[in-house]
Chain A
Amino acid sequence: MAYNLSEKAIAEKYEDLLFTKVMALYAEEESKKILSELGEETADPKAVQKLFDKKERSENLRTLWKYSKKILQFAAMVVFVAVVSVSSVVVASAEVRETVAEAIYHLVLEEHEEYTRVSIGESTNFVDPEIYTWDDAYAPTYIPDGYCFDDILDLINQQIVFYKSGDNYFNFKQAKGAGFSYQNTENAELTKTISIGESEGFLIVNNGISTVTWSIDDTLLSVSGTAPTEEIIKVAEGLKPLGNSASEPEEEYTFVDPEIYDWEGAYAPTYMPEGFNFVECVVGLDSHSNTYEYNEKFVIIEQKNKNYATHIDTENAQIVKNIIINNCEALFIEKDGLAYITWGYEDTLFFICGNIKSSEIIKVAEGIKPIN
């Protein structure tokens, strides 16, 4: 049995006791520093289960993606084989080449007759100017009698405005970044080039529908409908730039819960479906993940450095497609009642998922704007 009454043994025990007290005080003060860095947080018992649910969902997403690579590779191989096969047939067979050429010919704008020069009025009294709110919008200065605004489809880089009068209708389409268009002229009753302002346009009348198409710089414009052809042409001639320049002062956004998005380079939502409230934020090394919930529905918005990949398993997904979010190419996936959108912008990767409607989650994604 060890002798514990030596001076050395006693001194050691004293030191041990002293430093027990010292380290207890040290631990208290260090803890205060850590807590002050973390900030005030209150434990919400109800958030416990939500935390698990959310974390389990995100961890499941990560584990599922590793299988999708094989599927994508297989799909790419199938597409490649199909393209090579079709190309081989086209190259090898003269008959096929002729058929393809004829089909392409009918799909391409072609000149049939001389230009028809039409004068353009200088009216700048816009019809329904409040509808045409997008940047560099063209708006009509003439609408045929009896026609009134019916609907508008405002998509990324493309807007379509519908007018109708009884059973007749016409629509005006403006698409940015599309300098030419394909029109099917096969069996058309009338096809001819016309002038719209200083641009060369193309008129097609087919099955009672008249379509005028022309482009100005990188904007494609078209007017199409069952209204009389001369009215369609007059509407096209009356389209003028409204003056909503992109160089105007940037829109001020109304952010949802802006106080949460307080880190440098943060992007915040400007839209959240009604009833959804912020639940929690989980901060990683270079990522922030915010959860919103309403009843049994949830939306997760994650922002991270793009060096961190987002993995989503697309196997058996109902929808996998590319879409455009804020002028960036994004991946949209719908699977088993969940919708996912992911895209990158400069050094940032965005990931949104939720069990809400696709249209709503797209709206949330499009509403993500820089706040800091």
Chain B
Amino acid sequence: MITMMISAIENDFQREFITEIYKKYYSAMLKKAFSLLDNTEDAEELVQEVFADLIARVDSVMTVEQKKLPAYLMSAVKYCAYDENRKQSRWHFVDIESEEIGHIPDDGPIPEELYLKTEAIVELKSALEKIPEKYKNLLEFKYILGLSDSELSAKFKISEGAVRTSLMRARRKACSVMREGEENGI
């Protein structure tokens, strides 16, 4: 099915681009999908959806730098895996109004000096590994996939305000983890 979809791309350059993605990353995407869904058929179907989406947005996908493309594709798999009707999905978006979100401390705005320090960026990147998966996923969808607040709002069926608040929480959680690391001498 995927090859048929790719064959239908009229533009030679776009078709070759998507083909290379398929050839190079299909197995990795399938493995990622399987890790999320635990079901072979659903995993294959999911990857098909991802490719259908990539083909639909091929112009913007082609602007993704090659050195970030693998992460982009894995994020795309995770994004497509989220579906309220997909009962085997292993993760779910944290409801902004749920109790869980209420327990996340809000340490206030990120200090301005962080924006000026290159090493802060590296440390924040490391801190991402330690924040809850659902926050990391949200940040991936926003910044790697480049989805807008309205798109995220429609996907997760929450208000745009809730999306912005969740993003803010995710960012500050990363900063909080980074600061804890500094305090503990890590």
Residues of A within 8 A of B (CB): 7-8, 11-12, 14-15, 17-32, 34-35, 37-38, 41, 43, 45, 47-48, 51-52, 55-56, 59, 280, 282-285, 308
Residue of A14, A37, A47 touching B110 (CB-CB under 8 A) = A14
- Once the chains bind, are A14 and B67 in contact (CB under 8 Å)? no
Q: Which residue in chain B gives the minimum CB-CB distance to A283?
A: B27
- Once the chains bind, are B124 and A34 in contact (CB under 8 Å)? no
Residue of B23, B68, B71, B168 touching A12 (CB-CB under 8 A) = B168
- Once the chains bind, are B121 and A11 in contact (CB under 8 Å)? no
Chain A residues closer than 8 Å to B144, beta-carbon distance:
23, 26-27
Instruction: Determine the distance from Cα of A48 to Cα of B27 in the docked complex, in whole angstroms.
Output: 16
Q: Residue B139 at the A interface, CB < 8 A?
A: yes
Q: Which residue in chain A gives the minimum CB-CB distance to B143?
A: A23
Q: Residue B186 at the A interface, CB < 8 A?
A: no
Instruction: Determine the distance from Cα of A64 to Cα of B140 in the docked complex, in whole angstroms.
Output: 41
Q: Chain B interface secondary structure, helix, strand, loop or mixed?
A: helix
Given contacts A20-B143, A43-B23, 13 further A-B contacts (CB under 8 A): A7-B109, A17-B115, A18-B120, A22-B124, A22-B143, A31-B69, A31-B71, A34-B28, A34-B71, A35-B70, A41-B24, A48-B19, A52-B6
- Once the chains bind, are A52 and B20 in contact (CB under 8 Å)? no
Instruction: Determine the distance from Cα of A277 to Cα of B112 in the docked complex, in whole angstroms.
Output: 60
Assess A52 versus B109: contact at CB under 8 Å? Given A22-B124, A35-B70.
Answer: no
Residue of A7, A37, A47, A55 contacting most chain B CB atoms (<10 Å): A55
Chain B residues closer than 8 Å to A12, beta-carbon distance:
164, 168
Instruction: Determine the distance from Cα of A285 to Cα of B32 in the docked complex, in whole angstroms.
Output: 10
Assess A22 versus B24: contact at CB under 8 Å? Given A14-B112, A28-B71, A59-B3.
Answer: no
Residue of A18, A41, A280 touching B114 (CB-CB under 8 A) = A18
Instruction: Determine the distance from Cα of A285 to Cα of B112 in the docked complex, in whole angstroms.
Output: 47
Instruction: Determine the distance from Cα of A48 to Cα of B124 in the docked complex, in whole angstroms.
Output: 40
- Once the chains bind, are A18 and B110 in contact (CB under 8 Å)? yes
